[in-house]
A and B are shown apart, each in its own frame.
Chain A
Amino acid sequence: TQLLEQSPQFLSIQEGENLTVYCNSSSVFSSLQWYRQEPGEGPVLLVTVVTGGEVKKLKRLTFQFGDARKDSSLHITAAQPGDTGLYLCAGAGRAGGTSYGKLTFGQGTILTVHP
């Protein structure tokens, strides 16, 4: 069974601070996706990382996939109140496998950015 441990579970910071959310697993994933989920809504895709060591930037958000494709991080620079929300990481398939589906989700990080 593949597991994805996401930390921290809760993060409360002041506007302008930086933060990092981590996702770790003992399993290798073929890709890793980061989502943001608002209450009562479906996960909305932020980014997909596929290659070990890959770094992707989305404005103030930086996503990194570990070299071994077992872990990933989300770094937010100069957080703003609009960044407040639930952030989810999800690993897809197994490296070298044929299954593209079955996303394994982390438990999520609830981020609160205070003005």
Chain B
Amino acid sequence: DAGITQSPRYKITETGRQVTLMCHQTWSHSYMFWYRQDLGHGLRLIYYSAAADITDKGEVSDGYVVSRSKTENFPLTLESATRSQTSVYFCASSANQFTEAFFGQGTRLTVV
């Protein structure tokens, strides 16, 4: 199916563990993004990417790493999870920097 999918949808992990959130899009969009959304708040940009092998830090990148070896995949890794990283994570993609972004369903991550 065409679209953008995130996995898993829900994840509970322990403090200090490494966890990877997956994002896959089928449109071959060049631009991809990771956001986090804390309860009742807006979107905060973690990382973004203009193309495969090109990534940039957003406003809240500490504690996160990304890779983009293929255009369609943009995994986000929490190197050592902390309780403050409990949030809903959204992946998004867009065809270019001016067009609308399409969002995945979100991953609710709980760090205990």
A is bound by B: no
Residues of B within 8 A of A (CB): none
**Using a CB–CB distance below 8 Å, which chain A residues touch chain B?**
none
